[in-house]
């Protein structure tokens, strides 16, 4: 069971961790994950999991939570309102900060200041004006104080706590100096910190504004998928077209899709022909021509004629819904680097607060004045914001997941990137993965009369359901058939029937010999085809041997190139199949595979993967069938083709919607790039804090006389977060794909 919530009030990774912890304590919740960029909580658990209980738990932790049902694209009006609100806050804060900065620093920078408000000539007026212009900045950005106080009350101090402590201390210190001067006019007003408080709040808001815009870009692919789901659908009921909500559709119903409209559910075209735009689903830019009988996917856009589609999967179970679900759920899973950053962020804020207090006390004891000591404490609080550390991995993973989905690769969980880049072995299932999974006739060899061979073969095999029989029928489709009586299929051997007054046989060479037919006439040709890895279907009429069809599964166009790319990347490539050794090795040689695991029964495939892992190999298993599911689960990473069975798709960690093996080496290269970007971000976040906190605490003051002004500290903190988000956004372009 899964429940999804829209969460409000989160500002950093510490907030996200608080929400996860609160939801995880609710009865029935087995796992809870938060996507900070999507402001979303997803809970997995038993049927006893209660949405109201989760909502109350999140509320008690100081955040808002609203249950989200079905596929809902983000409310564009809400996003626009949020963008406008933070933009207005930024502009007004900046306009108010300018006069504060002018009044506090104008004379220092040799900028003329009128005598009536000069800091030197009229210190009280100057101080009161600074306080007056700082007040709107405090009011506009009160959200930091509200969230910071909530975080402290629940025992989870966050980035907002640091910002509110730093700016609040600056304001209180400055206000206390004004009050002291009013009480004792002989007390000279020292340098105030109003400009530091205004600058801190303005710069943090600016950083949040840029961060907010950048994070939204990382979710573009998910939002584009959500936007594909139509709000209303035409459905044929009682012979009439009626509008209904997609949630009301049922399997087997007929829906009508006009040009320009989006298909709401997976199905088969009942009538009509058109061209479909599937670019958002599969990354394929060329429209796909479709006609009656073709399968279509939800989220495809009809470009030309009207279509009537018979629903096979309702919208909630469709390909589009599955893609959205995979991307959403992957976004709330934790990569190993995220778990490390979460643990550090959880203790980071309390440690920084202690460092700030100790630094301020040290300088007071050392003999510096109160203003200097408080400025040091404020600088430590502001410069050490854990935002960059908390964003380093989640933003990178979100961008990578979005880019992968945009290109037709669905990834179930964030840790898949880590396992992809660490893998050293790829095991490929043969049928349906390396090959198309659709046998085709490669050669026809007749003893004398090829027409007699074709007529006998199509007459017999038209009555059979065997895949090899269908390959023969497809080849001899235009050949006229003869009437067959007493047809029978002999399991594992072939088929027999009566044509005219003669017995007709089709199947293995041994089957014909058992029935007294001599097949030696083409023995040399047959041996050559066996060595090529083909399966032979022999036919006879009466006692006359007619010839054989050489049938083989067609190798996918991209298989050889993909296998070569995997080997060039340093991976060891195996082929896993239940087929005979001779056939398997012949095919493996054609596509460039040196290692073959053949004649492996379906129930033995999982054990084969376990054996490779026992040797210390890190295995990626690629398959598409029901019998591949155990191997997909046993591997370090399971990869399924989009055309695979539901069981294979549900067992895999990665789904290649294009059914193109070439996507796998590209994805492995991309995973290495994702890892590099995450490491860069984590290095920057750790390096920044390791360097900035000691400097802010005054480590360079005694030897060099250098201190970190709180305003510069605020700017540095904002730059660090912006750098991390911008670096992560490079993954959205994904040049490796």
- CATH number, domain at 607? 3.40.50.1000
CATH number of the domain to which 53 belongs: 3.30.70.100
Q: What is the pLDDT of residues 303-321, one digit of tens each?
A: 878 899 999 988 877 877 7
The span from the CA of 100 to the CA of 510, in Å, is: 97
Residue 243 inside a domain? The answer is no
Question: Cα-flanking dihedrals φ and ψ of residue 682, to 5°?
Answer: -65, -40
Residue 624 sits in the same domain as residue 584: yes
Q: Judge contact between 315 and 229, C-beta under 8 A.
A: yes
Nearest to 664 by CA among 330, 425, 439: 425
Residue 234 inside a domain? The answer is no
End of a domain among 265, 289, 313?
A: 313
Residue 471: pLDDT over 70: yes
Nearest to 19 by CA among 208, 163, 156: 156
Q: Which two tokens stand for residue 66?
A: 């609203």
Question: Cα-flanking dihedrals φ and ψ of residue 601, to 5°?
Answer: -70, 155
Q: What is the pLDDT of residues 77-100, one digit of tens each?
A: 566 677 788 889 999 999 999 999
Q: How far is CA 442 from CA 268, 414, 551, 554, in A?
A: 30, 43, 5, 9
pTM flag (> 0.75): no
Q: How many CB atoms lie within 10 A of CB 53?
A: 16
- Lowest average pLDDT, out of 317-321, 589-593, 690-694, goes to 317-321
Q: Which two tokens stand for residue 215?
A: 């994070």
Q: What angle do CA 192, 193, 198 make, to 5 degrees?
A: 135
Helix (H) or strand (E) holding 155: none
Q: Which two tokens stand for residue 283?
A: 């990354």
Residue 90 sits in the same domain as residue 202: yes
Q: Judge contact between 414 and 333, C-beta under 8 A.
A: yes
pLDDT grade for 345, boundaries at 50, 70 and 90: low
Q: What is the pLDDT of residues 413-423, one digit of tens each?
A: 778 888 998 99
pLDDT score for 707: 84
Residue 254 sits in the same domain as residue 376: no
Nearest to 529 by CA among 554, 548, 553: 548
State what percent of residues in the chain have pLDDT above 70.
87
Residue 105 inside a domain? The answer is yes
Query: Which residues make beta-bridge pairs with 426?
Result: 573, 620
CATH number of the domain to which 445 belongs: 3.40.1110.10
Residue 482 inside a domain? The answer is yes
Q: Judge contact between 539 and 532, C-beta under 8 A.
A: no
Q: What angle do CA 440, 446, 449 make, to 5 degrees?
A: 125
For residues 455-463, give the mean pLDDT.
Answer: 92
- Name the average pLDDT for the chain: 83
pLDDT score for 603: 65
The span from the CA of 224 to the CA of 230, in Å, is: 12
Query: Active-site residue among 429, 553, 624, 636?
Result: 429
pLDDT grade for 352, boundaries at 50, 70 and 90: confident
Residue 190 sits in the same domain as residue 210: yes
- Lowest average pLDDT, out of 51-65, 371-385, 548-562, 568-582, goes to 371-385
Q: What is the pLDDT of residues 367-395, one digit of tens each?
A: 988 878 888 888 887 777 655 666 667 77
Q: Judge contact between 578 and 631, C-beta under 8 A.
A: no
For residues 161-185, give the mean pLDDT.
Answer: 84
Residue 99 sits in the same domain as residue 172: yes
Q: What angle do CA 194, 199, 203 make, to 5 degrees?
A: 160
Question: Cα-flanking dihedrals φ and ψ of residue 291, to 5°?
Answer: -150, -175
pLDDT score for 283: 47
Residue 204 sits in the same domain as residue 351: yes
Q: Which contacts of 81-84 are long-range, i.e. CB under 8 A and separated by 24 or more positions?
A: 82/212, 83/212, 83/213
Residues in the chain: 737
Residue 127 sits in the same domain as residue 6: no
pLDDT grade for 199, boundaries at 50, 70 and 90: confident
* Interacting residues of 95 by C-beta distance below 8 A, sequence separation 6+: none
End of a domain among 555, 584, 609?
A: 555
What residue spans of 574-662 are helical by DSSP H? Answer: 581-591, 605-614, 629-634, 646-651
Residue 204 sits in the same domain as residue 337: yes
Residue 211 inside a domain? The answer is yes
Residue 417 inside a domain? The answer is yes
Q: Judge contact between 488 and 533, C-beta under 8 A.
A: no
Residue 212 sits in the same domain as residue 339: yes
Q: Which two tokens stand for residue 202?
A: 């303005």
Residue 58 sits in the same domain as residue 117: no
Q: How many CB atoms lie within 10 A of CB 179?
A: 10
Q: How many CB atoms lie within 10 A of CB 523?
A: 11
Torsion of CA 641, 646, 652, 657, to 10 degrees: 30
Which is it for strands 494-499 and 502-507: parallel, antiparallel or unpaired?
antiparallel
CATH number of the domain to which 255 belongs: 2.70.150.10
- Please say if 579 is a catalytic residue: no
pLDDT score for 715: 67
Local structure of 36: helix, strand or coil? coil
pLDDT score for 607: 86
Residue 232 inside a domain? The answer is no
CA 500 from chain centre, in angstroms, equals: 62
Residue 8 inside a domain? The answer is yes
Which is it for strands 572-576 and 425-429: parallel, antiparallel or unpaired?
parallel
Tell me the residue range of the domain where 11 lies: 2-69
pLDDT score for 453: 94
Residue 430 sits in the same domain as residue 444: no
Higher pLDDT, 320 or 48: 48
Q: Judge contact between 654 and 665, C-beta under 8 A.
A: no
Based on the structure, what is the number of domains in the chain? Answer: 5
The span from the CA of 42 to the CA of 19, in Å, is: 11
Residue 737: pLDDT over 80: no
End of a domain among 670, 692, 716?
A: 670
Per-position b or e across 330-354, b if 16+ CB within 10 A of its CB: bbbbbbebbeebbebbbebbeebbe
Q: How many CB atoms lie within 10 A of CB 91?
A: 14
Q: What is the pLDDT of residues 133-145, one digit of tens each?
A: 999 999 999 988 8
Identify each DSSP E strand in 331-484 by its residue range: 409-411, 425-429, 435-446
What residue spans of 333-369 are helical by DSSP H? Answer: 336-366
The span from the CA of 107 to the CA of 586, in Å, is: 86
Q: Judge contact between 16 and 34, C-beta under 8 A.
A: yes
Residue 22 sits in the same domain as residue 36: yes
Nearest to 271 by CA among 325, 305, 226, 307: 307
Residue 735: pLDDT over 70: no
- Lowest average pLDDT, out of 10-19, 204-213, 295-304, goes to 204-213
pLDDT score for 323: 66
Residue 271: pLDDT over 70: yes
What DSSP designation does 26 have? Answer: S
Local structure of 558: helix, strand or coil? coil
Question: Cα-flanking dihedrals φ and ψ of residue 262, to 5°?
Answer: -100, 140
């Amino acid at each position: 069971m899964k429940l999804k919530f829209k969460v409000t009030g989160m500002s950093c990774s510490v907030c996200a961790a608080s929400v996860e912890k609160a939801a995880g304590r609710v009865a029935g919740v087995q796992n809870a994950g938060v996507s900070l960029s999507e402001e979303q909580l997803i809970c997995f658990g038993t049927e006893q999991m209660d949405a109201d209980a989760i909502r109350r738990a999140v509320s008690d932790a100081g955040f808002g939570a609203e249950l989200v049902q079905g596929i809902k694209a983000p409310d564009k009006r809400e996003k626009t309102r949020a963008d406008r609100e933070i933009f207005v806050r930024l502009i007004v804060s900046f306009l108010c900060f300018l006069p504060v900065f002018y009044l506090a620093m104008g004379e220092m920078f040799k900028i003329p200041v009128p005598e009536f408000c000069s800091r030197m000539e009229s210190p009280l007026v100057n101080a009161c004006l600074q306080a007056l212009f700082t007040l709107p900045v405090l009011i506009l950005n009160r959200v930091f104080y509200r969230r910071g106080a909530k975080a402290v009350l629940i025992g989870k101090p966050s980035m907002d706590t640091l910002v509110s402590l730093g700016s609040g201390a600056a304001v209180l210190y400055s206000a206390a100096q004004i009050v002291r001067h009013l009480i004792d006019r002989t007390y000279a007003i020292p340098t105030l910190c109003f400009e530091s408080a205004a600058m801190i709040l303005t710069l943090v808001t600016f950083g949040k504004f840029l961060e907010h815009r950048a994070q939204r870009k990382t979710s573009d692919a998910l939002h584009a998928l959500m936007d594909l789901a139509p709000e209303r659908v035409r459905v044929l009921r009682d012979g009439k077209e009626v509008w209904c909500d997609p949630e009301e559709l049922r399997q087997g119903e007929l829906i009508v899709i006009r040009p320009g409209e989006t298909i709401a559910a997976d199905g088969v075209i009942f009538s009509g022909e058109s061209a479909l735009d599937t670019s958002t689903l599969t990354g394929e830019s060329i429209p796909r021509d479709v006609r009656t009988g073709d399968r279509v996917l939800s989220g495809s856009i009809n470009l030309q004629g009207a279509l009537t589609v018979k629903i096979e999967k309702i919208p909630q179970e469709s390909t589009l819904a599955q893609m959205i679900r995979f991307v959403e759920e992957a976004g709330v899973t934790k990569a190993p680097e995220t778990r490390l950053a979460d643990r550090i962020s959880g203790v980071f804020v309390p440690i920084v607060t202690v460092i700030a207090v100790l630094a301020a006390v040290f300088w007071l004891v050392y003999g510096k004045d109160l203003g200097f000591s408080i400025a040091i404490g404020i600088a430590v609080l502001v410069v050490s914001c854990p935002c960059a550390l908390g964003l380093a991995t989640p933003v990178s993973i979100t961008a990578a997941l979005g880019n992968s989905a945009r290109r037709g690769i669905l990834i179930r969980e964030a840790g898949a990137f880590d396992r992809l880049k660490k893998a050293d072995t790829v095991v490929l299932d043969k049928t349906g993965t390396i090959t198309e999974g659709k046998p085709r006739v490669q050669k026809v060899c007749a003893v004398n009369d090829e027409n007699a061979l074709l007529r006998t073969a199509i007459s017999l095999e038209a009555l059979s359901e065997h895949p090899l029989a269908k390959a023969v029928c497809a080849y001899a489709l235009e050949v006229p058939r003869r009437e067959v009586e007493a047809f029978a299929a002999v399991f594992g051997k072939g088929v027999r029937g009566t044509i005219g007054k003669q017995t007709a046989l089709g199947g293995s060479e041994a089957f014909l010999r058992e029935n007294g037919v001599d097949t030696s006439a083409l023995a040399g040709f047959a041996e050559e085809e066996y060595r090529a890895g083909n399966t032979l279907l022999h036919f006879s009429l009466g006692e006359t041997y007619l010839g054989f069809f050489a049938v083989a599964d067609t190798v996918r166009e991209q298989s050889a190139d993909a296998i070569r790319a995997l080997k060039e990347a340093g991976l060891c490539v195996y082929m896993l199949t239940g087929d005979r050794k001779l056939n398997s090795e012949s095919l493996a040689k054609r596509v460039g595979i040196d290692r073959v695991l053949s004649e492996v029964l379906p129930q033995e495939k999982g054990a084969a993967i376990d054996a490779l892992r026992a040797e210390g190999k890190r295995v990626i298993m690629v398959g598409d069938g029901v019998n591949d599911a155990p191997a997909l689960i046993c591997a370090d990473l399971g990869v399924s083709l989009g055309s695979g069975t539901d069981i294979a798709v549900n067992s895999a960690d990665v789904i290649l919607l294009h059914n193109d093996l070439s996507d796998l080496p590209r994805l492995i290269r991309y995973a290495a790039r994702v890892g590099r970007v995450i490491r860069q971000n984590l290095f920057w976040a750790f390096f920044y804090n390791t360097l900035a906190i000691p400097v802010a605490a005054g480590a360079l003051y005694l030897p060099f006389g250098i201190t970190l002004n709180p305003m510069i500290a605020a700017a540095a903190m904002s730059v660090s977060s912006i750098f991390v988000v911008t670096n992560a956004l490079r993954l959205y372009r994904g040049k490796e794909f």
